[in-house]
Amino acid sequence: MGLTSPSRCSNVGAVTDEEEGPVGAQEPKRAKRKRRPADRPSTIRDVAAKAGVSVATVSRTLAGNYPVSAETRERVMAAVDSLHYVVNVHAKALSGRVAGPIALVLRDITGPSLAHVAAGVEEEAGSRGRLSLVCSTKDDTKREDDLVQLMREQHAAAVLLVGGTVTDDAYHRRMAGYAKALDSAGSRLVLCGRPPLPAGVPATVVDYDNRGGAFQATAHLLTAGHRRVLFLSGAPGFSSAEERRLGYRDALRAHGVPYADELDTSGDYTRASGYLRTREALSTGVGFTAVFAGSDVVALGALAALREAGLSVPGEVSVVGFDDVPFAADLTPALTTVRVPYEELGRTAVRLALDREVGFASDNHVVLSTQLVIRDSVRPPAG
């Protein structure tokens, strides 16, 4: 089935079913070829044999970059169909060029924001004919090392490291190492949602405006009249957490509200952490009328703690989140939060990495803007 010219093909088939039988006292070179297991996928040579042409002709027919007579093309295509032939990328990569894949390295794809980055990457990569490899590090530095190595082996066109991180000295050394190793292999390190590296390191950075977003969020609360804003930040030293903290303080300063150390807490970007910290702030009685959560997931925990304490939101306490995860609009009350263009982050990262490769001039550092999304979780303070 699938054969467009049965008569010729059955003919060819009859000849080649002999498994390349030597047709005389030719060079025994081909005869030396080891017998392969039968379930091996068919090769271009099988196709050539079945079609009664040389492998070069098959290759050229499939590539379509060389004149081939209609009759030959037909025979080749028939053989391809009947053998279910697909080209072997490894062989192809070894001779002609193939586009390297885009490698996506993240902590955990389960997080809603990271999944959106992945979607953006996949979309942009796919539209440019690239595959996307996804790997998670689970916060293991050794594993990250291995993955970058692995991606180098895979000849990835770019390696995207996604998500905030602790940017200490060891981190910078590690990134510089990755960047150079990848660069020397014609690949590219792309940092997404992280601050830039020192100048001279061959890496591309796509970040978003954590500080500005945090400023808007905090300013929104302050404008509503709040003066005691509990800040539930991320881990100390964690890049996005520190940036958001800066934005928080910027806003306080801009509104002439004194900074209170006891309102500025650090912790994980988890629901549990938000819950615990809010509960503690309530029990120790530091006094606050609003909460700025470092992420929507943290806000979830804060909302739970407030609800548990019998405090109504936004009646008695206002809450703002960060990220605008999909369910933020479906919470009760719908959460006012800061939208981060995660999908665009992924798309931009791929675009920058590849366009650079093609030779277009392009920036090595892009910052996407964030935007406050006002919903129902903020109201002027009760007092």
Partner DNA sequence: GGTGGGACAGTAAGCGTTTACCCAGAGTCG
Partner DNA sequence: CGACTCTGGGTAAACGCTTACTGTCCCACC
Residue entry with tokens 């938000």: 274
Q: What do you get for the CA distance between the two ends of the chain, in Å?
A: 81
Residues 147-206 that bind a copy of itself (CB under 8 A): 149-150, 152-155, 180-181, 184-186
- 16 token code pair: 């080649």
Q: For DNA, which stretch binds (CB under 7 A), given 38-46, 141-149, 216-224, 371-379?
A: 38-46
Q: For a copy of itself, which stretch binds (CB under 8 A), given 144-152, 165-173, 197-205, 213-221?
A: 144-152
Rounded CA-CA distance 382/363 in Å is: 48
Rounded CA-CA distance 121/173 in Å is: 26
Q: For a copy of itself, which stretch binds (CB under 8 A), given 4-12, 106-114, 223-231, 375-383?
A: 106-114
DSSP for 77-131?
A: HHHHHHHT----HHHHHHSS--PPPEEEEES-TTSHHHHHHHHHHHHHHHHTT--
- 94 touching a copy of itself, by CB under 8 A: yes
372: phi then psi, degrees, rounded to nearest 5: -75, 130
Rounded CA-CA distance 119/277 in Å is: 32
User: Which position among 73, 99, 112, 260 is part of the footprint of a copy of itself (CB under 8 A)?
Assistant: 112
Q: Which does 118 bind (CB under 5 to 8 A by kind): a copy of itself, DNA, none?
A: a copy of itself
CB 290 within 8 A of CB 317: yes
- Cβ proximity to DNA, 46 vs 207, nearer residue: 46
**Site residues for a copy of itself per CB under 8 A:** 39-41, 84, 86-91, 93-94, 101, 108-110, 112, 115-116, 118-119, 122-123, 126, 131-136, 149-150, 152-155, 180-181, 184-186, 271, 300, 303-304, 307, 326-327, 330-332
Name the site residues for DNA (rule: CB under 7 A).
29, 32-34, 36, 40, 43-45, 52-57, 59-60, 62-63, 65-69, 71-72, 85, 87-88, 91-92, 94-97
